Amino acid sequence: MRQFDVIVIGSGMAGMTIANKCAKKALKTAVTDFRPYGGTCALRGCDPKKILVGAAEIIDRADKMKGHGLKGNLQINWEELMAFKNEFVSKMPPGVEKGYLQSGVAMYHGAAQFESSNTIRIDDEILEAKKIVIATGARPVTLDIPGSDIPIDSTGFLDLEVLPKHIIFIGGGYIAMEFAHLAARAGSKVTIFHRGKFPLENFEQEIVAYLVKATRELGIDLQLEAEVTGIEKQGDGYLVTVNTPNGSESRLTDLVINAAGRIPELDGLNLEAAGISYGPKGIEVNQFLQSVSNPDVYAAGDSAASQGLNLTPVAVMEGHVVAANIIKGNSKIPDYTEMPSAVFTLPTLASVGLTEVQAKRKGFNYKVKSGSGTNWYNAKRINENTYAYKVLSGEDGRVLGAHIIGPHAEESINLFAMAIKAGMTSGEIRNLVYSYPSMGSDVGSMV
């Protein structure tokens, strides 16, 4: 049996942060992952997705400027674009291993299973540690319908060698919306079936309404209150049955993608053997991200039932917190004051802080400033017809939440995140001097 100070299960952004920091502080550290090192964001999520979206952005900008100084048609060459994406992704695992080697982290490639409160099994080897960290991330939910084994997930979409003529997405979250916008601009016909009344249900619905309109104007068939009840193979394609407000109907498609959400990937860890409490949202942790039932265990990122959103920057921040608490003893608490997030559709939807529903639920007295920015210079210069904002401020003028849809919203939202972190008032934000003309210069007009 090999003994360590720290064992990290999972080599995504949280796991990497913890393993490297602990090892650099002379703690004998090991890491294991049954997948290539790098995690969802780098290998199967944010990074490869943004490379593909980058090409779609060029198509979108060119289309909107057609007849306004640009002519001709640009097209996405899917095979070349995927090869470009794969070039980046393939470099990640060896790069992570090199970092572990430099830090002195012992590397394992296998699924971990708890044997006791502080021991795990990897294949035929038993490892023991003073502290064990669970940072296994999340996986797609399993559909509870006939034919649930037929759809591919987001990972499969990012590995498609050929883009089908027609695609059906199940779910209306950020994965479905982002990939639908990408596929539509790459030439596919796209249908989204979402069982809720609104897509992106955790975002500010007043702003989501703009995205729904833009999505449908793009030619995407977005069907709401539509629940998929079965999938079956039919010829070279698939027949998808769905319940809608108008009754049951069936659609033929070339490909079905499960984008119905993600849950903590805790399968097979045998958490019961270690006395680790967990629920639908992940490992139950205290304020220090330590297991409430097993003090030898910590959790970070999507596998922890913390207050954090399932976002890469949050996972990294939680990784730093866990590492500090292991190295120095429990003393550091994660700060979730500002957690900006973005849905990389075109246009991009971005959010930070409270929605109006959340502000009401918390009992805040607040004021709202919202409106369209399509008549502002920054929209007109690129012929953008979807640009809107909604900002909530408290009685003292400090920003409680900001929600934007439009070009480079993912950049502008960071200014609001900093304002929330710094406790800036609307007046202070308005009075800042911004570079002009830039999208950031519009922030002062939104408060």
16, containing H or E segment: helix 13-24
Instruction: Say yes or no: do domains 2-140+263-328 and 154-260 share a fold.
Output: yes
Average pLDDT score, the chain: 97
CB 30 within 8 A of CB 155: no
Backbone φ, ψ for residue 353 (5° rounding): 80, -155
Residue with tokens 């004021």: 367
Query: Domain 347-445: which CATH class?
Result: alpha beta
Q: Give the CATH superfamily of 2-140+263-328.
A: FAD/NAD(P)-binding domain (3.50.50.60)
- Burial degree of 83 (CB within 10 A; 0-12, 13-18, 19+): exposed
On the question of a cis peptide bond just before residue 347, with omega within 30 degrees of 0, the verdict is yes
CB 406 within 8 A of CB 379: yes
Query: CA dist 290 to 52, 124, 177, 285, 423, Å?
Result: 37, 28, 34, 5, 29
pLDDT tens, residue by residue, 415-437: 999 999 999 999 999 999 999 99
Query: What pLDDT score does 11 carry?
Result: 98
| Whether the predicted model's global pTM rises above the 0.85 cut | yes
Question: Per-domain residue ranges for the chain?
Answer: 2-140+263-328, 154-260, 347-445
Q: How many CB atoms lie within 10 A of CB 378?
A: 22
Measure the CA–CA gap between 317 and 13, rounded to whole angstroms: 9
R_g of the chain, CA atoms, integer Å:
23
Percent of the chain with pLDDT over 70: 100
How far is C-alpha 263 from the geometric centre of its chain's CA atoms?
12
pLDDT interval class at 278 (50, 70, 90) = very high
Query: What pLDDT score does 429 carry?
Result: 97
Query: What pLDDT score does 118 carry?
Result: 97
CB 278 within 8 A of CB 284: yes
pLDDT tens, residue by residue, 5-25: 999 999 999 999 999 999 999
Please spell the DSSP secondary structure of 130-174, one letter per residue.
Answer: EEEEE---EEEPPP-STTTTS-B-HHHHHT-SS--SEEEEE--SH
pLDDT interval class at 402 (50, 70, 90) = very high
Q: Where are the alpha helices (DSSP H) in 65-91?
A: 78-89
Q: Report the pLDDT averaged over residues 123-144.
A: 97
Query: What pLDDT score does 80 carry?
Result: 97
Start-to-end C-alpha separation, the chain: 60
Helix 312-328 with 13-24: angle, nearest 10 deg: 30
CB 95 within 8 A of CB 18: no
Fold of 154-260: FAD/NAD(P)-binding domain (3.50.50)
Query: What pLDDT score does 239 carry?
Result: 98
Query: What pLDDT score does 101 carry?
Result: 98
pLDDT tens, residue by residue, 179-229: 999 999 999 999 999 999 999 999 999 999 999 999 999 999 999 999 999
pLDDT tens, residue by residue, 167-179: 999 999 999 999 9
Residue 400: how many CA atoms within 13 Å on its side-chain side? 22
Query: What pLDDT score does 273 carry?
Result: 98
CA dihedral (355, 360, 362, 367) positive or negative? positive
Query: What pLDDT score does 91 carry?
Result: 96
As a dihedral over the C-alpha atoms of residue 77, residue 83, residue 87, residue 93, rounded to 10 degrees, the angle is 130
Q: Report the pLDDT averaged over residues 30-43.
A: 97
Measure the CA–CA gap between 432 and 416, rounded to whole angstroms: 12
